[in-house]
Amino acid sequence: MVSAQSSNLGKTYSLLMIKSFLIWTFTLAVCLLVVGFPLVVLMATVGCLLSIILQSVMPVSAVLLVAGALIMFNVMAVVLAAGVLTVKGVHPSEIKWLSWLHGEADQMQATVYAACPLTCEIKI
């Protein structure tokens, strides 16, 4: 009975770790695409210049090599960062600015119409 419970807890913990890793991977990839757009533009510029330079050395596969290296660098950065955050035990629900991820809406103020201070207090 005890070994069955410990095995079940191990499976649950590993599933939670995998879920956390996948959520972090998705979140960091979206943040890289949306917030890191200037970084992506800078990497594309450097990649173009690098492929022009490498074209003289290896004319057939310079563009393929540079594009593959840039894509692999981005993928590895996202996976490594997600792995580090998962191993440290940081769950995405603990992060305040990720409220859009787990469906918690920010508390909004009630709407106040401009005419209300003039007409709300009138009693007929």
| pLDDT given at position 123 | 64
| pLDDT given at position 4 | 52
Query: In whole angstroms, what is the distance from residue 91 CA to residue 24 CA?
Result: 8
Contact in structure between 64 and 6 (CB atoms under 8 Å) = no
- Mind listing the pLDDT tens digit for each residue in 20-42? 899 899 989 988 888 888 888 89
Q: Which residue in 21, 25, 26 sits closest to 91, CA to CA?
A: 21
Query: In whole angstroms, what is the distance from residue 106 CA to residue 96 CA?
Result: 11
Count other C-beta atoms under 10 Å from residue 101's C-beta: 14
Query: In whole angstroms, what is the distance from residue 13 CA to residue 6 CA?
Result: 10
| pLDDT given at position 117 | 61
Q: Which residue in 105, 104, 103, 89 sits closest to 24, CA to CA?
A: 89
Give the pLDDT of the chain (124 residues) as one tens digit per residue. Answer: 455 555 677 778 888 889 889 989 998 998 888 888 888 889 889 999 998 888 888 877 888 888 899 999 999 999 999 999 999 988 877 777 777 666 655 556 666 556 666 666 666 6
Residue with the two structure tokens 């209300």: 116
| pLDDT given at position 84 | 94
In the chain, the amino acid numbered 22 is L
| pLDDT given at position 5 | 57
* pTM for the model: 0.68
